[in-house]
Amino acid sequence: MSAAGPVGIPILRLGDVLVTGLLNELDDATVVAFTEELTTRITTDRARGVLIDISRLEIIDSFVARTLMELTTMARLLGARVIVAGMRPPVALTLAELGLSLTGVETALNAEHGMVALGWHRSSRSSGEVLHDGRR
């Protein structure tokens, strides 16, 4: 696992999946630096999946929305599947009002559903241990 990168947004590696999240206070420079950092990590970590948790994001503007679409396209070209998880209703409403549909961006209700879509499964053990590819 890795701690926060140069932009201060943590990008964690869990097997072949990178997990990260966007916070509410995002300026354009941070978003651009985050995109560069994440695409670099996809290549260096040989990630096949990326989960971006946006559940703490209360607002979104057209720049961040476009960046998520571009990031998804770049990741796909690098061989990774991206899932954006945890979109709040006000964020979805804002995107609809802006006429942005996040074309090509796969979404999940929450981070757990996103991880399942990327091949992770929660163990039935009481410890709540999360396993990859069904291994127990």
Provide mean pLDDT across the span 86-92: 93
Provide mean pLDDT across the span 39-56: 96
d(CA 125, CA 107): 28
Q: CB neighbours of 123 closer than 8 A, spacing ≥ 6?
A: 129, 130, 131, 136
d(CA 51, CA 117): 10
Give the tens place of pLDDT for each residue, 12-36. Answer: 999 999 999 988 777 888 888 999 9
Provide the token pair at 44. 């260096």
Ranking 32-46, 69-83, 97-111 by mean pLDDT, the lowest is 97-111
Total length of the chain? 136
